[in-house]
Structure 1
Amino acid sequence: MPATAHHVGITVSSLEEVLPFYRDVLGLDVITRFSVSGEAFATGVGVENATGSFAHLDGDGTRIELVEYDPEGADIEEPSLNRPGAIHLGLDVDDIDAFYEALPEDVETISEPQTTESGTRICFLRDPEKNLVEVLEQ
Protein backbone atom coordinates (compact mmCIF):
# COMPACT_ATOMS: atom_id res chain seq x y z
CA MET A 1 0.00 0.00 0.00
CA PRO A 2 1.59 3.32 -1.03
CA ALA A 3 1.97 6.12 1.46
CA THR A 4 0.01 9.33 1.00
CA ALA A 5 1.15 12.79 2.05
CA HIS A 6 -0.40 14.09 5.28
CA HIS A 7 1.57 17.28 6.00
CA VAL A 8 4.78 19.24 5.60
CA GLY A 9 6.36 20.10 8.95
CA ILE A 10 8.52 23.06 9.91
CA THR A 11 10.14 23.23 13.35
CA VAL A 12 10.27 26.74 14.79
CA SER A 13 11.65 28.34 17.95
CA SER A 14 8.57 30.47 18.62
CA LEU A 15 5.19 29.50 17.26
CA GLU A 16 3.74 32.83 18.40
CA GLU A 17 6.33 34.81 16.42
CA VAL A 18 6.21 32.72 13.23
CA LEU A 19 2.49 31.93 12.96
CA PRO A 20 1.48 35.51 11.94
CA PHE A 21 3.83 35.30 8.93
CA TYR A 22 2.19 32.13 7.61
CA ARG A 23 -1.32 33.30 8.47
CA ASP A 24 -1.20 37.02 7.64
CA VAL A 25 1.57 37.39 5.04
CA LEU A 26 1.11 34.10 3.17
CA GLY A 27 -2.66 33.98 3.75
CA LEU A 28 -2.85 30.42 5.09
CA ASP A 29 -5.84 29.58 7.31
CA VAL A 30 -5.19 28.02 10.71
CA ILE A 31 -6.98 24.65 10.83
CA THR A 32 -6.15 23.74 14.42
CA ARG A 33 -3.73 24.35 17.29
CA PHE A 34 -2.82 21.74 19.88
CA SER A 35 -0.07 20.41 22.16
CA VAL A 36 1.26 16.89 22.54
CA SER A 37 3.42 15.44 25.31
CA GLY A 38 3.94 12.19 27.17
CA GLU A 39 6.25 9.22 26.87
CA ALA A 40 4.89 7.96 23.53
CA PHE A 41 5.40 11.37 21.91
CA ALA A 42 8.91 11.79 23.37
CA THR A 43 9.89 8.29 22.24
CA GLY A 44 8.27 8.78 18.83
CA VAL A 45 10.22 11.97 18.07
CA GLY A 46 13.40 10.79 19.80
CA VAL A 47 13.58 13.78 22.18
CA GLU A 48 13.63 13.03 25.90
CA ASN A 49 10.71 14.65 27.80
CA ALA A 50 9.52 16.35 24.59
CA THR A 51 6.43 18.50 24.38
CA GLY A 52 5.26 19.91 21.07
CA SER A 53 3.03 22.91 20.44
CA PHE A 54 1.50 22.67 16.97
CA ALA A 55 -0.37 24.81 14.47
CA HIS A 56 -1.79 23.20 11.34
CA LEU A 57 -2.49 25.48 8.39
CA ASP A 58 -4.46 24.90 5.21
CA GLY A 59 -2.23 25.02 2.13
CA ASP A 60 -5.13 24.28 -0.27
CA GLY A 61 -4.72 20.52 -0.19
CA THR A 62 -1.42 20.39 1.67
CA ARG A 63 -1.46 20.64 5.45
CA ILE A 64 1.41 22.74 6.77
CA GLU A 65 2.49 21.96 10.31
CA LEU A 66 4.42 24.44 12.43
CA VAL A 67 5.79 22.90 15.62
CA GLU A 68 7.65 24.35 18.60
CA TYR A 69 9.48 21.81 20.79
CA ASP A 70 10.28 21.93 24.48
CA PRO A 71 13.10 21.22 25.06
CA GLU A 72 14.37 23.15 22.07
CA GLY A 73 17.32 21.71 20.16
CA ALA A 74 20.36 23.61 18.94
CA ASP A 75 19.94 26.03 16.04
CA ILE A 76 21.07 24.90 12.61
CA GLU A 77 23.02 27.10 10.25
CA GLU A 78 21.01 29.52 8.15
CA PRO A 79 19.33 27.40 5.47
CA SER A 80 20.73 27.58 1.96
CA LEU A 81 18.96 25.94 -0.97
CA ASN A 82 22.02 24.18 -2.39
CA ARG A 83 22.90 22.28 0.80
CA PRO A 84 22.02 18.57 0.91
CA GLY A 85 19.14 18.13 3.32
CA ALA A 86 17.88 21.68 2.78
CA ILE A 87 14.12 22.03 2.83
CA HIS A 88 11.70 24.69 1.71
CA LEU A 89 7.97 25.15 1.46
CA GLY A 90 6.63 25.90 -2.04
CA LEU A 91 3.42 27.90 -2.46
CA ASP A 92 1.68 28.70 -5.75
CA VAL A 93 0.09 32.13 -6.35
CA ASP A 94 -1.94 33.48 -9.27
CA ASP A 95 0.09 36.69 -9.69
CA ILE A 96 3.61 36.59 -8.27
CA ASP A 97 4.32 40.23 -9.08
CA ALA A 98 1.25 41.44 -7.18
CA PHE A 99 2.11 39.07 -4.31
CA TYR A 100 5.68 40.37 -4.18
CA GLU A 101 4.63 44.02 -4.28
CA ALA A 102 2.17 43.46 -1.42
CA LEU A 103 4.79 41.94 0.91
CA PRO A 104 5.44 43.91 4.09
CA GLU A 105 8.79 45.71 4.01
CA ASP A 106 10.17 43.62 6.87
CA VAL A 107 9.83 40.31 4.97
CA GLU A 108 13.27 39.09 3.89
CA THR A 109 13.44 38.12 0.23
CA ILE A 110 16.26 36.43 -1.66
CA SER A 111 15.33 37.99 -4.99
CA GLU A 112 12.58 39.68 -6.92
CA PRO A 113 10.39 37.36 -9.04
CA GLN A 114 12.44 35.64 -11.75
CA THR A 115 11.35 33.64 -14.81
CA THR A 116 13.19 30.31 -14.99
CA GLU A 117 14.05 28.39 -18.18
CA SER A 118 10.94 26.25 -17.59
CA GLY A 119 8.75 29.36 -17.72
CA THR A 120 7.86 29.22 -14.04
CA ARG A 121 8.16 32.50 -12.15
CA ILE A 122 9.73 32.16 -8.70
CA CYS A 123 10.95 34.14 -5.73
CA PHE A 124 12.18 32.98 -2.34
CA LEU A 125 11.37 34.46 1.05
CA ARG A 126 12.50 33.73 4.57
CA ASP A 127 10.07 33.45 7.44
CA PRO A 128 10.93 35.29 10.69
CA GLU A 129 13.20 32.39 11.71
CA LYS A 130 14.98 32.21 8.30
CA ASN A 131 13.10 29.12 7.02
CA LEU A 132 12.88 29.17 3.23
CA VAL A 133 9.60 29.66 1.39
CA GLU A 134 9.37 29.50 -2.41
CA VAL A 135 6.54 31.42 -4.02
CA LEU A 136 5.84 30.47 -7.60
CA GLU A 137 3.50 31.23 -10.46
CA GLN A 138 3.15 28.54 -13.11
Structure 2
Amino acid sequence: MTANAHDLQSHHVGITVEDLEAVLPFYRDVLGFDVADRFQVDGEAFSTAVGVDDAAANFVHLEADGIRVEIVEYEPQARASPDAGLNQPGAKHLGFTVADLESFYADLPDDVETLSEPQTTATGNSILFLRDPEDNLVEVLEIAE
Protein backbone atom coordinates (compact mmCIF):
# COMPACT_ATOMS: atom_id res chain seq x y z
CA MET A 1 0.00 0.00 0.00
CA THR A 2 1.39 3.40 -0.96
CA ALA A 3 1.19 6.64 1.00
CA ASN A 4 -1.32 7.96 -1.55
CA ALA A 5 -3.69 5.12 -0.63
CA HIS A 6 -3.77 6.58 2.89
CA ASP A 7 -4.72 10.11 1.73
CA LEU A 8 -1.48 11.60 3.10
CA GLN A 9 -1.82 15.36 3.62
CA SER A 10 0.66 18.00 4.71
CA HIS A 11 0.45 19.28 8.29
CA HIS A 12 3.63 21.23 9.13
CA VAL A 13 7.33 21.74 8.57
CA GLY A 14 9.31 21.53 11.80
CA ILE A 15 12.50 23.18 13.02
CA THR A 16 14.19 22.23 16.28
CA VAL A 17 15.78 25.22 17.98
CA GLU A 18 17.87 25.81 21.07
CA ASP A 19 15.96 28.88 22.32
CA LEU A 20 12.34 29.09 21.18
CA GLU A 21 11.76 32.57 22.60
CA ALA A 22 14.82 33.95 20.78
CA VAL A 23 13.76 32.51 17.41
CA LEU A 24 10.02 33.21 17.58
CA PRO A 25 10.22 36.98 16.84
CA PHE A 26 12.06 36.28 13.56
CA TYR A 27 9.27 34.09 12.18
CA ARG A 28 6.44 36.16 13.69
CA ASP A 29 7.71 39.73 13.26
CA VAL A 30 10.18 39.57 10.34
CA LEU A 31 8.46 36.93 8.17
CA GLY A 32 4.93 37.78 9.30
CA PHE A 33 3.70 34.40 10.53
CA ASP A 34 0.75 34.31 12.93
CA VAL A 35 1.06 32.29 16.14
CA ALA A 36 -1.60 29.60 15.74
CA ASP A 37 -0.83 27.54 18.84
CA ARG A 38 1.60 27.13 21.75
CA PHE A 39 1.83 23.95 23.78
CA GLN A 40 4.11 21.58 25.70
CA VAL A 41 4.34 17.81 25.32
CA ASP A 42 6.07 15.33 27.62
CA GLY A 43 5.54 11.86 29.06
CA GLU A 44 6.46 8.30 28.16
CA ALA A 45 4.51 8.12 24.90
CA PHE A 46 6.19 11.30 23.62
CA SER A 47 9.66 10.10 24.68
CA THR A 48 9.07 6.78 22.91
CA ALA A 49 7.71 8.44 19.76
CA VAL A 50 10.67 10.83 19.37
CA GLY A 51 13.29 8.34 20.57
CA VAL A 52 14.63 10.64 23.32
CA ASP A 53 14.71 9.47 26.94
CA ASP A 54 12.71 11.72 29.30
CA ALA A 55 11.82 14.08 26.44
CA ALA A 56 9.74 17.18 26.90
CA ALA A 57 9.27 19.93 24.36
CA ASN A 58 7.77 23.39 23.96
CA PHE A 59 6.09 23.98 20.61
CA VAL A 60 4.89 27.01 18.68
CA HIS A 61 2.86 26.53 15.51
CA LEU A 62 3.03 29.46 13.10
CA GLU A 63 0.83 29.94 10.05
CA ALA A 64 0.87 32.07 6.91
CA ASP A 65 -0.73 31.55 3.53
CA GLY A 66 -1.62 27.90 4.08
CA ILE A 67 1.69 26.74 5.53
CA ARG A 68 2.30 25.76 9.14
CA VAL A 69 5.81 26.01 10.57
CA GLU A 70 6.47 24.30 13.89
CA ILE A 71 9.36 25.51 16.01
CA VAL A 72 10.21 23.26 18.90
CA GLU A 73 12.61 23.42 21.84
CA TYR A 74 13.48 20.05 23.43
CA GLU A 75 14.59 19.02 26.89
CA PRO A 76 17.03 17.43 27.14
CA GLN A 77 18.87 19.24 24.36
CA ALA A 78 21.23 17.27 22.18
CA ARG A 79 24.68 18.43 21.23
CA ALA A 80 24.44 20.85 18.31
CA SER A 81 25.38 19.48 14.91
CA PRO A 82 27.77 21.41 12.67
CA ASP A 83 26.23 23.80 10.19
CA ALA A 84 25.82 22.28 6.76
CA GLY A 85 26.29 24.38 3.64
CA LEU A 86 23.42 24.28 1.18
CA ASN A 87 25.39 21.92 -1.06
CA GLN A 88 25.93 19.28 1.66
CA PRO A 89 23.73 16.19 2.13
CA GLY A 90 21.31 16.79 4.98
CA ALA A 91 21.18 20.54 4.41
CA LYS A 92 17.73 22.01 4.97
CA HIS A 93 15.93 25.29 4.45
CA LEU A 94 12.42 26.70 4.34
CA GLY A 95 11.24 28.42 1.16
CA PHE A 96 8.63 31.16 0.81
CA THR A 97 7.55 33.46 -2.00
CA VAL A 98 6.89 37.19 -2.06
CA ALA A 99 5.55 39.42 -4.83
CA ASP A 100 8.43 41.93 -4.62
CA LEU A 101 11.75 40.56 -3.35
CA GLU A 102 13.62 43.87 -3.60
CA SER A 103 11.02 45.56 -1.41
CA PHE A 104 11.06 42.63 1.06
CA TYR A 105 14.87 42.88 1.22
CA ALA A 106 14.79 46.66 1.73
CA ASP A 107 12.34 46.26 4.63
CA LEU A 108 14.40 43.67 6.53
CA PRO A 109 15.64 44.78 9.94
CA ASP A 110 19.37 45.57 9.99
CA ASP A 111 20.13 42.63 12.30
CA VAL A 112 18.78 39.97 9.89
CA GLU A 113 21.69 38.13 8.26
CA THR A 114 21.48 37.41 4.54
CA LEU A 115 23.87 35.33 2.42
CA SER A 116 23.81 37.99 -0.31
CA GLU A 117 21.59 40.62 -1.83
CA PRO A 118 18.71 39.27 -3.96
CA GLN A 119 19.96 37.42 -7.02
CA THR A 120 18.15 36.57 -10.27
CA THR A 121 19.01 33.04 -11.36
CA ALA A 122 19.04 31.49 -14.82
CA THR A 123 15.40 30.43 -14.26
CA GLY A 124 14.40 34.08 -14.07
CA ASN A 125 13.40 33.68 -10.41
CA SER A 126 14.95 36.00 -7.83
CA ILE A 127 16.18 34.44 -4.59
CA LEU A 128 17.43 35.60 -1.21
CA PHE A 129 18.67 33.44 1.66
CA LEU A 130 18.28 34.64 5.26
CA ARG A 131 19.44 33.14 8.53
CA ASP A 132 17.16 33.01 11.55
CA PRO A 133 18.70 33.82 14.97
CA GLU A 134 20.01 30.23 15.25
CA ASP A 135 21.45 30.15 11.70
CA ASN A 136 18.63 28.09 10.11
CA LEU A 137 18.33 29.01 6.44
CA VAL A 138 15.20 30.57 4.96
CA GLU A 139 14.88 31.15 1.22
CA VAL A 140 12.62 33.91 -0.07
CA LEU A 141 11.79 33.85 -3.77
CA GLU A 142 10.11 36.07 -6.31
CA ILE A 143 8.85 33.78 -9.04
CA ALA A 144 9.29 35.03 -12.62
CA GLU A 145 6.05 35.43 -14.54
Length-normalised TM-score, structure 2: 0.92
Residues 10-55 of structure 1 show CA distances to partners (whole Å, capped at 9, x for unaligned) of: 0000000000000001111110100000000010000000001000
What is the alpha-carbon distance in structure 2 between the residues aligned to residue 54 and residue 78 of structure 1? 23
* Aligned equivalent of 1:136: 141
- Say what the alpha-carbon RMSD is for the aligned residues: 0.8
Which runs of structure 2 are paired with 1:51-70 in the superposition (5 Å)?
Answer: 51-70=56-75
Letter in 1 for 2:20: L
Which residue matches 1:10?
A: 15
- How far did residue 59 of structure 1 move? 2.9
Runs of 5+ unmatched residues, structure 2: none
Equivalent of residue 76 in structure 1, options 71, 76, 81: 81
Q: Deviations over 1:79-125 (max 9, x none)?
A: 31111011100011111101101111111100111111111110100
Q: Does 1:119 align with 2:144?
A: no
Partner of 2:107: 102
CA distance in 1, matches of 2:33, 2:111: 19
Instruction: Report the counterpart of residue 33 of structure 1 in structure 2.
Output: 38
Match of 2:28 in 1: 23
Contact 2:23 2:133 in 1 (8 A): yes
Q: List runs of 5+ in structure 1 lacking aligned partners.
A: none
Runs of 4+ in structure 1 over 6 Å off: none
TM-score of the aligned structures, taking structure 1 as reference length: 0.97
